[in-house]
Chain A
Amino acid sequence: MADNNKPVMTENESGKKVHEPLFHITKKAAIPWQKAWAVRIGSVVAALIVCALVTMLLVHKDPIKIYGTMLSGAFGTSRRIWNLLQGIAMLLCVSLAVTPAFKMRFWNIGGEGQVLIGGLATAACMILLGDKIPNALLIVVMLISSLAAGAIWGLIPAVFKAKWNTNETLFTLMMNYVATQLVAYFVNVWEVPKGSGKIGIINQATRAGWLPVIGKYDYLLNIIVVFVLTFVLYAYLKYSKHGYEIAVVGESENTARYIGINVKKVILRTMILSGAVCGLTGFLLVGSTNHTVTTTIAGGRGFTAIMVSWLAKFNPIFMILTSALLVILEKGAGEIATVYGLNKSFSDILTGIILFFIIGSEFFINYTINFRKAHKEGK
């Protein structure tokens, strides 16, 4: 039957007039993964062409040159490559965090707040306990408190979801801003120097609570931690009993209940995990990357992570690719903006265009369009 297409009148066997739509849509059986990825890559290529056209309209340069600028922005110098890898690792870490929740169909869009609160807990330990306890112990305390803070921030919406089925999308969204304002409050309390409105580098002289630097590479520790975490989470979701329970709850809560899974327990446990990994991201961002905390430290990653996770079909290994795609794009577009004197937000526009294409392409993986067959005359 037609949904919003103009119906066409045809005659059926009994001579009655019936509506025959121009096309109808049916669900595809699972298609081979090579084919699915061919569609996705095709959509990215199409999106890149559109991005090039948009950029050309704005800066009047030939597209090859534009892509050259983008690539040099992402990979141009070894410093840029390190920045890029660090960016990918941090985005990937938040994406890993939100994935178990998504697999359970729990829309945790509070990653931003959970990262912030984890970062705040880390910074609090650094400021309040710095120099008072040995450095190794301090780092352990920082880690534990950031994990706990993130976990609590994730647990609160889960408790209400489990008890009263409170809408988790809206709940976690609000929790982001509560966290932002808490950070803003403590930034004002701890500001150095007074009146500057920011904390500045914490423990710059003593380096208390700074995570160790491996070799000479500032970001290597973060990258290794996230890389290991990716495979741990992959195994957790794919091979553990917990992972199986998450998948069943996500597919059908009734089935889960029927086969004796305690749905509430799974929701609470998974959100503790999700929040704790977000807290870990905050810990890495404050303890290792920035050594300070601001309200923008999460940098929108909590939201971008949702798209990273969804684009990779909740598969942690594929998430390496999707987060790399988005970060390379962001850095590349940032370079275009700098070189051609455009505003930095240009990268958001390009990211948006690419996301729209990939989101749209999923349709062609999951559905087929069947056009109306030509009818024989005088049947």
Chain B
Amino acid sequence: MILNSAFLQNAAGAFSWATVALFLQRAIVQGIPLLYGSTGEILTEKSGNLNLGIPGIMYIGGISGVIGAFLYENSLPSRDAINPALAILIPMLCSVLGSLLAGLLYCFLTVSLRANQNVTGLALTTFGVGFGNFFGASLVKLTGSEVPSVALSATSAFFKKSLPFAGKLGNFGTVFFSYGFMTYMAIIIAVVAAFVLKKTRTGLHLRAVGENPATADAAGINVNRYKYVFTCLGSVIAGFGGLYYVMDYACGVWSNEGFGDRGWLAIALVIFCIWRSNWGILGSILFGGLYIVYLFVPGSLSTQELYKMLPYVVTLIVLIITSARKKRENLPPASLGLSYFREDR
């Protein structure tokens, strides 16, 4: 953990607005990777694909960005020669490329070759997590460079750059303005995704594909195209979650297994916000808070482990309640997890 837990432990006893502001800020920082992951997965699931490869794709998105940034930083004569635009664009493009290829692979197998989605997704997660950890640990050796480890502090500095006046606004500045650009990007993407899903024709068609592909097909919607486009788009967005994690949260230092189970937590968030990415913004902050609440409440190490269970328990409760109430708009897309065979009818 990057955060200064000793300080937080001390702060936990006494209530102060500064502690609340700090808690909120840490919760948001924790929540952003989940928000990227869940927004991506919502778009994917709305097309009827239950992509359990999202945890792997987030690793791939992260490590692809790291590889890009690593190669760029090492090609420079000195750290000072780094170009801000390139330092941000290269990792982002690499991340997009990595996650896009992973998404395409998933689509090719499940949509074109009609393979089982659960099996394909889990295989992709195995592959992706392995890919991330392998290159994270072996990058230095494979490229034969002289640096001791992958620490992209120069690149990370550009990702973390917050608005200049953030520090002058006290607690308000801490909560709202102390983040790098990818935080705001995540929120914008989530809002746009919610708008597209709810208000546009494209979103209507996409939902139709996820609910009942045969009907959508009969209405002249190109089912496969929608599945491909939105699953790949979802992968790219989820991949940004991995990139945000290494470049912003972890200050450009790749550590194996550092990303942990956040990918699965992102899938939990999809259920928690009942397939609405705008609700996912608040949900991600709540999940982020639940993820770190153990640092702020007094208690032994063992009870802290129980606090870490909270996000999953809360998700289970939401899953049960929505399925019991059976309100159409709160249920998972009806054809979620099923491949569409047009010739099957």
Contacts and interface: CB of A to CB of B under 8 A. Distances in A.
Interface of A: 1, 3-4, 24-27, 58, 107, 109, 160, 163-167, 169-171, 173-178, 181-182, 184-186, 188-189, 197, 300, 303-304, 306-307, 310, 341-343, 345-349, 351-353, 355-356, 359-360, 362-363, 366-367
Interface string B310-345: 001101100110011010000010001100011110
Interface string B200-225: 00000000000000000000001111
Given A185-B306, A310-B116, A167 B134 contact: no
B319 A170 contact: yes
Contact of A169 (B118, B132, B341): B118
Q: Which 5 A-B pairs have the closest CB atoms?
A: A348-B130, A352-B127, A188-B302, A343-B137, A345-B133
A170 B133 CA distance: 26
Given A58-B142, A345-B132, 7 more contacts: A166-B323, A169-B50, A170-B319, A181-B306, A306-B119, A347-B130, A348-B133
Interface in B124-150: 124-134, 136-138, 141-142
Contacts of B131: 345, 348-349, 352
Instruction: Please report whether the interface of chain A is mostly helix, strand, loop or mixed according to DSSP.
Output: helix
A169 B337 contact: yes
A343 B225 contact: no
Interface string B242-263: 0000000000000010000100
A359 B116 contact: yes
A324 B133 CA distance: 24
A359 B123 contact: yes
Interface string B299-310: 011110110110
A341 B129 CA distance: 19
B222 A4 contact: yes
A347 B316 CA distance: 33
Interface string B226-254: 00100000000000000000000000000
B92 interface: no
Contacts of B223: 3
Interface of B: 50, 52, 105, 108-109, 112-116, 118-120, 122-134, 136-138, 141-142, 222-225, 228, 256, 261, 264, 267-268, 271, 300-303, 305-306, 308-309, 312-313, 315-316, 319-320, 323-324, 326, 332, 336-337, 341-344
B225 A359 contact: no
A342 B134 contact: yes
Contacts of A347: 130
B122 A303 contact: yes
A277 B87 CA distance: 52
B119 A359 contact: yes
B222 A175 contact: no
B116 to A, nearest CB: 6
A26 B342 CA distance: 10
B134 A310 contact: no
Nearest to B316: A174
A345 B256 contact: yes
B118 A346 contact: no
A143 B250 CA distance: 44
Contact of A178 (B52, B137, B316): B316
Given A4-B228, A164-B324, A360-B115, A307 B123 contact: yes
Contacts of B341: 27
B306 A345 contact: no
A171 B119 CA distance: 17
Contact of A304 (B126, B133, B309): B126
A160 B318 CA distance: 12
A107 B117 CA distance: 11
B343 A173 contact: no
Most buried by A among B228, B308, B309: B309
Contacts of A359: 109, 113, 115-116, 119-120, 123
A181 B290 CA distance: 14
Contacts of B228: 4
Given A174-B268, A178-B313, A181-B305, A27 B343 contact: yes
Given A164-B320, A174-B315, A355-B126, A307 B119 contact: yes
